[in-house]
């Protein structure tokens, strides 16, 4: 490792498992102090303990990313402890139901988890990123389904597509403040959530 993130402060929302966990480990290995934020407080604590055991620096945070109050509290703690934020990554997401017959309740939940969390995570943490002296970075995880469309879950493509468009807008909005905004659109990655995707395909053997 190059330790290129020495003395940087990072927050990973959705850092308790899968890709979020891997991102937390990599940021810490590069020297950043990492806030591991996750709905599952126990998972956030486990990832933090792993990082500490490896000689890194991290702090667990139990955060419901769809809750504005929880996000405000997270950024308030970062402000009090460090006064700035260099890296903000939003990994939060859910697969969404299959097909187009989606209840209003499920529709709203998908919007809250996949879209609301990204918008308010970025905007509520923005002032802290402005204090990073031109080194601020916002990143999101969307999906290839945001680019090519999913025939199995159109609502997933809808919500992840919104993240791509939002990132383009944030990149333009934040540039004058020296803050970069980028989105990654991964394909299939072996995470705890992967089996939920395959379970939507007709005749799919989830075990395989």
Residue pLDDT, tens place only, 18-55: 999 999 999 999 999 999 999 999 999 999 999 999 99
CA angle 1, 57, 19 (to 5 degrees): 65
Find residue 47's DSSP bridge partners.
none
58, 34 Cβ separation under 8 angstroms: yes
pLDDT at 190 over 70: no
Q: How far apart are CA 119 and CA 166, in angstroms?
A: 8
Tokens, residue 88: 């903000």
Q: How far apart are CA 139 and CA 90, in angstroms?
A: 6
Q: Which residues are catalytic?
A: 156
Q: How far apart are CA 8 and CA 203, in angstroms?
A: 47
Output 193 or 106, whichever has higher pLDDT. Answer: 106
- First-residue to last-residue Cα distance in the chain: 35
Q: Output DSSP code: residue 131.
A: T
Q: How far apart are CA 105 and CA 38, in angstroms?
A: 22
pLDDT digits (tens, 9 = 90+) for 135-185: 999 999 998 887 888 888 899 999 999 999 999 999 999 999 999 999 998
The β-bridge relationship of strands 57-62 and 87-90 is unpaired
Mean pLDDT of the region 185-208: 57
pLDDT at 92 over 80: yes
Cβ contacts of residue 179 below 8 Å, gap of 6+? Answer: 126, 129, 130, 132, 136, 137, 138
pLDDT at 115 over 70: yes
């Amino acid at each position: 490792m190059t330790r290129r993130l020495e003395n940087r402060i990072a927050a990973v929302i959705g850092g308790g498992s899968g890709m979020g966990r891997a991102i937390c480990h990599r940021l810490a290995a590069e020297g950043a102090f990492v806030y591991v934020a996750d709905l599952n407080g126990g998972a956030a604590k486990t990832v933090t303990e792993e990082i500490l055991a490896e000689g890194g620096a991290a702090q667990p945070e139990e955060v419901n990313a769809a809750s504005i109050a929880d996000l405000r509290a997270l950024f308030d703690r970062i402000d009090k402890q460090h006064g700035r934020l260099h890296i903000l990554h939003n990994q939060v997401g859910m697969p969404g139901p299959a097909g187009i017959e989606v209840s209003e309740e499920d529709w709203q939940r998908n919007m809250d988890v996949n879209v609301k969390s990204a918008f308010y995570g970025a905007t509520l943490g923005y002032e802290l990123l402005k204090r990073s002296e031109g080194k601020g970075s916002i990143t999101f995880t969307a999906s290839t389904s945001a680019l090519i469309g999913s025939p199995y879950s159109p609502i997933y493509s809808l919500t992840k597509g919104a993240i791509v468009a939002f990132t383009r807008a944030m990149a333009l909005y934040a540039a004058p403040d020296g803050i970069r905004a980028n989105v990654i659109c991964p394909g299939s990655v072996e995470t705890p959530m992967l089996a939920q995707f395959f379970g939507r395909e007709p005749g799919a053997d989830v075990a395989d």
